[in-house]
Amino acid sequence: MFHHVTVLQHEAVEALNVQEDGIYVDATLGGGGHSELIAQRLGSEGRLFAFDQDEEALQATQERLQKYADRITYIHANFRRLQEELATFGVNKIDGILFDLGVSSPQLDDAERGFSYQKDAPLDMRMDRTQPLSAKGLVNTWPEQELASIIWRYGEERFSKRIAHAICQARAEAPIETTLQLAELVKNAIPAATRRTGGHPAKRTFQAIRIAVNDELGAFTEAVQAGVQLLNLHGRIAVITFHSLEDRICKEIYQEAAKGCECPPAFPVCVCGRQPSVKIITRKPILPTDEEVATNRRAHSAKLRVAEKILE
């Protein structure tokens, strides 16, 4: 059964300021926690488009939210295809969009999906299992320098070069096939003193490989920029991130869209004509409560940022 505990569920949906006849997008359907709350607020003229690249999540959540079938359209696609997928339904403007970048608990917990460094399984890590690149392909074919680069950039792992070197030495003997094989390689590449602190030694490397396999940051950047463009006047975008790389991207996109005149201070009047297209609602991100963190450990690093369209 596909069961996922939604983080910042009520805060994110409240931030969207849902209108009953509006058009909304849940860019990350997952277990459907946010979609259910949005659908509850929609009237007969309202519509929710729910995206997920994981077919299992789509099928399970579609069954669970059957009573809202008249107001939800499900789309099996990566959210980087937001504009083109919505265009097939004749939609080029929306009243709100929500992103929840947490990996769904069922994906992490299902050993077969190959995300876990604690359960043995074939190396996979694909959110969309129809895509060609898997973790096994990446780990066994990418050049050492490129491996080191992604482990450092996406995992912020200071022993990235040692880990990449260990991976390349091992795969020269035989392909790296499973999650525990990789986890053991990573563990042995990290100095013993470091291994004894800070959680599982393979955590950062597995995160980095997952992000690279699914091009998560590239897709997210494109999708948030597209989401801002799609918004109607007073429409809102709400983004829940779980690590600093995602949060930085979100913050920078909002700040860029919120910029006004860029003329030098010495100019008596504005000649650039630039006006802000959004207003940032959350100068500081909304964080989960202590109670939510106590009941759902995956919520501890969540941050919610919201912006509103003020210029079409």
Last residue of a domain, which of 213, 231, 257? 213
Domain count, the chain: 2
Residue 268 and residue 234 share a domain: yes
Residue 167 and residue 28 share a domain: no
Last residue of a domain, which of 151, 180, 213? 213
Q: Which pLDDT score, from 0 to 100, does residue 1 have?
A: 42
Instruction: For the chain, list residues with pLDDT below 70.
Output: 1-4, 104-110
Q: Which pLDDT score, from 0 to 100, does residue 104 have?
A: 63
Q: The CATH number of the domain where 189 resides is what?
A: 1.10.150.170
Residue 196 and residue 223 share a domain: no
Residue 156 and residue 274 share a domain: no
Q: Which pLDDT score, from 0 to 100, does residue 66 have?
A: 96
Distance CA 233, CA 107 (A): 36
Distance CA 152, CA 292 (A): 31
Q: The CATH number of the domain where 25 resides is what?
A: 3.40.50.150
Residue 169 and residue 91 share a domain: no
Q: Which pLDDT score, from 0 to 100, does residue 312 have?
A: 76
pTM confidence score: 0.89
Q: Cα dihedral sign for 6, 8, 10, 13?
A: negative
Last residue of a domain, which of 213, 245, 262? 213
Residue 79 lies in a domain: yes
Domain that includes residue 61, residue range? 9-106+216-309
Q: C-alpha distances in angstroms, 71 versus 36, 40, 293?
A: 11, 10, 32
Distance of CA 100 to the CA centre of its chain: 6
Distance CA 107, CA 3 (A): 10
Residue 90 and residue 24 share a domain: yes
Distance CA 243, CA 301 (A): 7
